[in-house]
Structure 1
Amino acid sequence: MRKNKLGSRIIAFTFLLILAIIWVVPLIWGIVTSFKSEAEFSTIGFKFLPINWVLTNYTELLVNNASTPLFHWFANSMIISVSNTVLVLIVVSLSAFAYDRLQFKGKNALFYFLLATMMFPSVVNIIPLYKIIDLLGWVNTKWAMIVPGAAGVFNIFLVRQFMSNIPISFDEAARMDGASDFTIFRKIILPLTKPVLYVVALFTFTGSWNDFLWPSIVFNDIDKMPITPGLQLLQGMYQSQPTLLMAGAFIAIVPTFILYLFAQKYFLQSMSLSAGVKG
């Protein structure tokens, strides 16, 4: 029995190690490429590590950036991602509370209808969504990125499932003490759902930060672009600049990488979809 368990662990470890290598090696290669000169990258064949480590790509991005305002892109992405995350947490937590705790006519039918919309790919909504944004006058503004993704169906489903594990007796005891529905949500439900809300915030911030297609459509002013669609300008009109692009990509992933380091424990806590109530 012990030999079988040991063999299974070795196989699982080997499989995970292979996956880790497949995922990590391209990332490391991209980072070290950002420290190569354009001449070295173009003239020398494949070489993993640079012969001469240089900072010219970062200098060109951060100092000589008249045509590529990286600081503006970075600030735009930060404002958009943080605002979108806050709005999503407000809308999703209230919606999940309503679908799980409140009683109103057609609640289940409406919720299942929302779930059914998940079967359609998001790209189907691009044209009608752009028409709505255009009518509101939000083209080329941050509102076009902040508002449309505020009520993600999957996030509502995830938080609702988490809330369903919180005993309903908590609500009943609070109502006996005269608490309103909003008081129950704010003082009982919300604190117990923090782990899953951290995960929603993590996914929302990362998705908003890394979004490429939608901001490429709604932004045409270079100074107002987020950083991800702005990176495509580093490729040049007639030739690509891989080393410069890798430097920009490395700068772009730093915030999400730091966020994952601080939020990973909440991600693991939420995977059980349990509120973790003791007693």
Structure 2
Amino acid sequence: MKTEHKFRLNLQFVIASILAVIFLFPIYWMFITSLRPEVMTTVWPPKLFPTDLTLENYKAIVSNTVDTPVFRWFFNSLVAASGYTILSCICMFFGGLCFGLPGFSGTGSLFLGPDYLIHHPRDYLSDPQLFIGESIRMG
């Protein structure tokens, strides 16, 4: 390997590591804060590595199902996510089926969207989600 290539790989690794820490820190902070006693959540300056962790907050939420119906919330989220996934799969199946049929009358008009993206890439790249998908070779 060339020295420049090794340097570029190391630089990419360092940047990816820094970004990983930045993106994972809020998840760590939420988890640690949920394990702290309630009075310790507003202490200034905050401790990054607290020693007085407890499960009392979780016990309070799970034991008081009248005021905080956590299991009902979980079930509602499960039903909503499952329903969305099933409906999306059904719609995508029929959409793909229509694109695949040779004599489908709406195929020409349905291809106008992808055709527009091919001829107007600037509009395509202005959408951040599409740009990210394209940059990691998913789009």
Q: Deviations over 1:16-71 (max 9, x none)?
A: 11110110122111111110011112245211123311112111211113222110
- The answer as to whether partners of 1:33 and 1:50 remain within 8 angstroms in 2 is no
1:60 paired with 2:60, answer yes
Q: Secondary structure at the match of 1:34?
A: helix
In 1: Cα distance, 2:85 partner to 2:3 partner: 48
Alpha-carbon distance between aligned partners in 1 of 2:64 and 2:106, rounded to the nearest angstrom: 59
Alignment of 1:117-132 (within 5 A): none
Post-superposition CA distance 1:174-196 (Å, at most 9, x none): xxxxxxxxxxxxxxxxxxxxxxx
How many residues matched? 122
**Structure 1 residues 110 and 70, CA gap change in structure 2 (3 angstroms):** same
Write out per-residue CA displacement over residues 123-142 of structure 1, whole angstroms, 9 at most, x where no aligned residue: xxxxxxxxxxxxxxxxxxxx
Worse-matched range after superposition: 66-75 or 79-88: 79-88
Unaligned runs of 5+ in 1: 120-153, 155-267, 274-279
- What percent identity do the matched residue pairs reach? 25
Does 2:84 match 1:84? yes
Q: Distance in 1 between matches of 2:61 and 2:4?
A: 54
Paired AA for residue 15 in structure 2: F
Structure 1 runs of 4+ off > 2 angstroms? Answer: 42-45, 100-106, 110-116
Equivalent residues of 1:61, 1:70 under 8 A apart = yes
Q: 3-state DSSP class of the match of 1:108? A: helix
CA distance in 2, matches of 1:19, 1:101: 45
Judged with a 3 Å threshold, the aligned counterparts in structure 2 of structure 1 residues 43 and 10 are, in CA distance, closer, same or farther, namely: closer
Q: What is residue 112 of structure 1 aligned with on the other side?
A: 112
Q: TM-score by structure 2 length? A: 0.73
* Cα pair 1:37 1:57 within 8 Å, conserved: yes
Distance 1:44 1:272, change over 3 A: closer
Look up the match of 1:30.
Answer: 30
SS at the partner of 2:48?
coil
Could you give the per-residue CA deviations for residues 138-191 of structure 1, whole angstroms, max 9, x where no partner exists? Answer: xxxxxxxxxxxxxxxx9xxxxxxxxxxxxxxxxxxxxxxxxxxxxxxxxxxxxx
Verify the 8 A CA contact 1:33 1:49 in the aligned structure 2: no
- Shift of the alpha carbon at 1:85? 0.7
1:115 Cα shift?
Answer: 9.1
Q: Work out which structure has the larger RCO, using CA pairs closer than 8 Å and 6 or more positions apart in sequence.
A: 1
Q: Distance in 1 between matches of 2:71 and 2:55?
A: 17
What amino acid is the match of 2:33? T
Give the Cα–Cα distance (whole angstroms) in 1 for the partners of residues 80 and 90 of structure 2: 16
Partner Cα distance (2:92, 2:111) in 1: 13
Give the TM-score taking structure 1 as reference length.
0.39
Give the drift of 1:93. Answer: 1.7
Cα distance 1:113–1:58, how it changes in 2: closer, same or farther (>3 A)?
Answer: same
CA RMSD of aligned residues (A): 2.8
Deviation at 1:104, TM superposition (A): 2.2
**Which protein shows a greater Rg?**
2
Decide whether aligned partners of structure 1 residues 45 and 115 sit closer, same or farther in structure 2, where only a CA change above 3 A counts. farther
Describe the shift of the 1:7–1:58 C-alpha distance in structure 2 as closer, same or farther (beyond 3 A).
same
